[in-house]
Structure 1
């Protein structure tokens, strides 16, 4: 695993852990529908893209004509 993938994985993990800690401390309520679920989606996507090399946003941007990084 290279540094970029590891950074992406750790960033996603930090987002998910911080949301979980806030939820279990009672600061936020993730049992109800809210915009925080968007943050959960972003964190989960970062985490899984670091592990699997699949990122939906990258695929969408490539289809829109954005060039791949070299």
Structure 2
């Protein structure tokens, strides 16, 4: 698995987690989904993604988006 796939998988997990929290616990859980969406937009523009940095430090190899 490379960094690109790990970031996409993690983003999908965070979105689903935020939806579940918003539905089952509190409407404030939807803020997690909003944060994930905003982070995906900013990383597509700037190329900076904190999750990619963490996955790189965990030893995953670079992909085409996050090298």
* CA drift at 1:39: 0.3
Deviations 1:47-68 (A, max 9, x none): 1001100011111100111111
Whole-angstrom distance in 1 between the partners of 2:58 and 2:27: 31
TM-score normalised to structure 1 length? 0.50
Gaps in structure 2 of 5+ consecutive residues:
1-21
2:61 pairs with 1:67:
yes
2:52 pairs with 1:58:
yes
Aligned pair count reads 40
* CA drift at 1:33: 6.3
Gaps in structure 1 of 5+ consecutive residues:
1-27
TM-score normalised to structure 2 length? 0.52
Structure (1 or 2) with the greater helix fraction: 2
1:43 alignment counterpart: 37
Greater radius of gyration (CA): 1
Whole-angstrom distance in 1 between the partners of 2:28 and 2:47: 28
